[in-house]
Structure 1
């Protein structure tokens, strides 16, 4: 088994449709500029309220990626 080193970054995904979509949006966008994404952890969920209804979801994620040799 190879020893691996990981780095963590924190990102925020958003969506007007739900937390799952907010997570997917964040991972998809991050994967375009960060290589070797391996896992994520939801840190915080919050949202915006407008007229007494949920208007937008925000999800804070820690994302781990492998550091290359």
Structure 2
């Protein structure tokens, strides 16, 4: 049986929600090993002059504890 842990990570990108999610995983993987999955919990964006200028995500990252 595997022991799994879940952490919550916030990230942002000026390109899109997918890029923000990838950045969250990349940053978490610098200090967390054995990442198994990522769950996109929440999406939001900021708007400037009628255009989206920042995409934000709140993700849950699951990893195995060894």
Aligned with residue 59 of structure 1, among 50, 57, 60: 57
In structure 1, stretches of 5+ residues that fail to align are: none
Give the TM-score normalised by the residue count of structure 2: 0.95
Which residue number in structure 2 is paired with residue 29 of structure 1? 27
In structure 2, stretches of 5+ residues that fail to align are: none
SS in 2 for 1:23: helix
Rg larger for? 1
Which residue number in structure 2 is paired with residue 50 of structure 1? 48
Which residue number in structure 1 is paired with residue 2 of structure 2? 4
More strand by share: 2
Query: After TM superposition, which residue ranges in structure 1, 4 or more long, deviate above 3 angstroms?
Result: none
